[in-house]
Amino acid sequence: MKAFLVALCAVLVSCTSTGPRSATHTPSPAPESPAPSTAPRDPVIAAAGDIACAPLERARARECAQEATARLIQAAHAAAVLTLGDNQYDLGTITGYRLSYDRSWGRFKDITRPVPGNHEYGSKKAAGYYTYFGPAAGKRTQGYYSFDVGTWHFIALNSNCYAVGGCKKGSPQETWLRADLRAHPATCTLAYWHHPRFSSGVHGDADGLADFWTALYDGGADVILAGHDHDYERFAPQTPSGGANATKGIREFVVGTGGRSHYATLFKHPNSEVRNSRTFGVILLTLHAASYDWHFRPVAGATFSDAGTGRCH
């Protein structure tokens, strides 16, 4: 009887089995997807000058590309937007700002840190510029100020020297600049204004701004941005006199490519590394703790670009 029961049990087990018997195995859990990174992205700033055509010119797409350059900024998700002057042609009136600039770059007004160009002073005391940007443009009698983005210190200067008591050594603005540099000894410093100290374009060098460069060089600044010449130009790091100095020199970018026409470059300036006078676009700077990446991004359909990396002093 006992033998019969053992045999019956063996038959029942074999009939309910779905396969060969094996050692006990606990299945491994499915691999988990990696958790999304919560590390903050290093900030990106976008900049260009010579931007918005006069309201009646806006339909001339070949000469007026402010809408196209605004789309580049939108795609970059910039932390701040720097305008490099001549933001609104031809006279910088408040009407012009509202009917042209505001309909393109105006969508970034809350994060814009502007400087005035010579066309802004086509209106008496640049009234349209200061009215449009409000406190973000600094005091109406000055137009220069500073701020921080991430770990970087930014200095906005007014290169319309006649309007602010000069730009030479000892002027109110140059004195303020040196004091600001002493008060903000950041690892990385960027300054910007409208008229380029060095340029291969039709306007050439703005020699009257030499004392700005000297103060910034003495203060350890790293990058200078300017507009005025309607082209893109990148320089190797330079001393105040224009000599190459890879260790302490300041790198200048001329980015007069915001949308209002092009100017030809007339010659190759010493230490000029890249020049282009046919492409609208903006420069994007990614700000790291002790370095930066630059990328000149062209408007849709254009092929020229420029990119690289620099270290802070």
Instruction: For residue range 199-246, list pLDDT tens digits in order.
Output: 999 999 999 999 999 999 999 999 999 999 999 999 999 999 999 999
Q: Identify the sign of the CA torsion 41, 306, 231, 254.
A: positive
Q: Could you tell me which residues come within 8 angstroms of residue 306 by beta carbon, excluding any fewer than 6 positions away?
A: 232, 234, 274, 276, 294, 295, 296
Asked if 103 and 69 touch (Cβ cutoff 8 Å), the reply is: no
| Alpha carbons 101 and 52: distance in angstroms, whole number | 5
pLDDT digits (tens, 9 = 90+) for 105-141: 999 999 999 999 999 999 999 999 999 999 999 999 9
Contact status, residue 87 vs residue 51, Cβ threshold 8 Å: yes
Question: For residues 190 and 123, what is the distance between their CA atoms, to the nearest angstrom?
Answer: 28
Q: Domains along the chain?
A: 44-311 (3.60.21.10)
CA–CA separation, 195 and 199 (whole Å): 9
Give the pLDDT confidence of 69-111 residue by residue, as tens digits: 999 999 999 999 999 999 999 999 999 999 999 999 999 999 9
Q: For residue 47, how far is the Cα from the chain centroid?
A: 4
